Amino acid sequence: MASAVVMHRSSSDGGSSSGWSEAAVASSAGDERAGWEVRPSGMVVQAREEGGVDGAGAGGVPPRPPPPEIRVRVKYGGARHEVAVSSIATFGELKKLLAARTGLPPADQKLTYRGRERRNADYLDACGVKNRSKLVLDEDPTSVERRYIERRRNARIESANRAIGAIALEVDKLADQVTSIEKSITRGSKAAEVQITTLIELLMRLAVKLDSIHAAEGDSSSRKNIQAKRVQKCVETLDVLKVSNARLQSVIVTTKWETFDAAPAATQWELFD
C-alpha cells in the first residue's frame, strides 16, 4: 500500500480544484508514471512505498523525483530569452527569473500567454504552458505611469528642500543680529528703533516665502516647520526687545570745556637811542 506526500495549492480563481485545467488532468497519467498524480480534490500527491527508511520503500526504492523542468521562450521587445523553470511553478515565480535576465522588476512585468495576461498566482501547467511554449513579456503600463508620478514627486521634494535650505541660511544671519541686539539691550544700551523694525520686516518676508513652498510630505514638511518656528521665535523676541528698548534712556554725551583767564597785557619794551 502506498502513502502520499501531499502538496496542496490554491487555484488561480480561489477554488481548491477548479484551478486545474483539463490539460493538466489529462496529463495526470504521465505524472503518475513519474510518481505524481492529481487527486479529485485538486491536490498534487507524490506516492511512496511504506515500510522504508528516509522515504525509501520496502524494496529500497528511492523517493520519486521532483516535477520536471521545462524551458519556455519569452519575447521581450526585440530580445528573446529561454528560461528553465519548474513545470508546476507560478507566473510570479517565472517573473522573478526573468527579472535577472531583463532587469525589469517583477512588479513592472506583464506576462501574456495565448493572448491573455496571466496573474502572478496562475500556475504554468494549469494554463497549458509546456516545454518550449512561447510567452510575451511587456512592461506594465501602470508601472510606467507610477514611475513617472514618483519622479515628479521626487523633483518637487528636491525643489522644496533647496528653497528651504536657502531660507534657512537667511534665518541664521538674521537670528545672529537678533541675538546681538538682545545682548546690547540687556546691558542697558539703547538700540536704534529702525534696526529692530527692519529685522522684523525681513523676518516676515521670510515667513511669506516659507508659506509659498509646497512641502506637504516627507522630510521637506518637517524642515519647513522648523524654519517657520525659528522665524516666529525671532519675531516674538524682537517684539519684546522693542518694548524694553523704548524704556531705556538715550545716552547724551556732553563735552566740558575748560576755561582760562584772559591773557596778560603785552609787555612794554623800552627803547634806547
For residue 13, pLDDT beyond 80 = no
Q: Is 178's pLDDT higher than 90?
A: yes
Among 139-143, 208-212, 242-246, whose mean pLDDT is lowest?
Answer: 139-143
Q: Check if the beta carbon of residue 123 is closer than 8 Å to that of residue 109.
A: no
pLDDT in tens, 159-176: 889 999 999 999 999 999
What pLDDT is recorded for position 273? 59
DSSP reduced 3-state for 75: strand
> pLDDT value at position 16?
40
What's the pLDDT tens digit per position in 241-266?
Answer: 999 988 886 655 566 666 666 556 56
| CA–centroid distance for 199 within its chain | 38
Residues paired with 38 in a beta bridge:
44
pTM of the model: 0.48
Give the C-alpha distances (Å, rounded to integers) separating 75 from 6, 101, 102. 35, 12, 11
Mean pLDDT across the stretch 178-186? Answer: 92
Q: Is 123 exposed, middle or buried (0-12, 13-18, 19+ CB in 10 A)?
A: buried
Which residues, in sequence order, are bridge partners of residue 2? 49
Q: What is the DSSP string of 187-199?
A: TTPPPPHHHHHHH
| Stronger pLDDT, 253 or 143, i.e. the higher one | 143
Q: Are strands 2-7 and 44-49 parallel, antiparallel or unpaired?
A: antiparallel
